[in-house]
Amino acid sequence: MIKLFRKCITTLKIKLYSRNNKININTSFISIYELENKILKLSEGCYIGREVRLSGNISIGKYTSISDGPTEINAEKCKIKIGNFCSIGRNFFPRTSSHYINLLSTSAHLLHVLDSERDNFISLGDIEIGHDVWIGANVTVIGNVKIGNGAIIGAGSIVTKDIPPYSINVGNPARVVKYRFADTVIKEVERSEWWNLELHELQLIKNKFFESIDISEI
């Protein structure tokens, strides 16, 4: 009964926080403490689906959507930064820590039982995801990786190194199979930085998002 009461209070606080900050949060697997203390930063207009777990030093840009889970994004040791207008599929798994492989045992649980004051995981590094990135379902991203603006990561891929802007990537490990645009167009889109515009400014050029690019008018 007490656990149910606490869950209801947490859900109510998250809904209130969502309304006050113009965010659409549909999960209760978020720490209200981390939200209120800016450890977990969610920007205006972003959508967090059901069964999505967020914990640690995470920042999510405006109008980015994370599909219904199961999805776990944990950044207790490192930082995870996700840009504006990104689309992230279900079961996204960014991995910022790993087991030790140069010790007598690989068991993180054993290390914690033996000495809870010592680290039982090794840090892999921060993860930075640019703006307008589309990540398909069941994608894993290993720490110390940067995914460029406008990139696409195909479903089931495992990202182990930096991803160039506007590239399409698939596989294990993920590799570039093609680019969305020619180099000249990519440079112009990057220069435009449209993802930093306010929503009312994007409304003025909304037709450009429903037709082939005429980069000179962005």
3-state helix, strand, coil in the chain (%, to 5): 25, 30, 45
DSSP state of 186: H
Q: How far out from the chain centre does Cα 12 lie?
A: 24
Query: Which of 149, 124, 131, 127 has the alpha carbon at shortest distance from 139?
Result: 127
Active site residue 112: no
Q: How far is CA 93 from CA 48, 66, 88, 118, in A?
A: 15, 12, 10, 25
Choosing from 99, 112, 131, 200, the catalytic residue is 99
**Token pair of 27 as six digits:** 């999960």
**Token pair of 175 as six digits:** 């590799």
Active site residues: 99
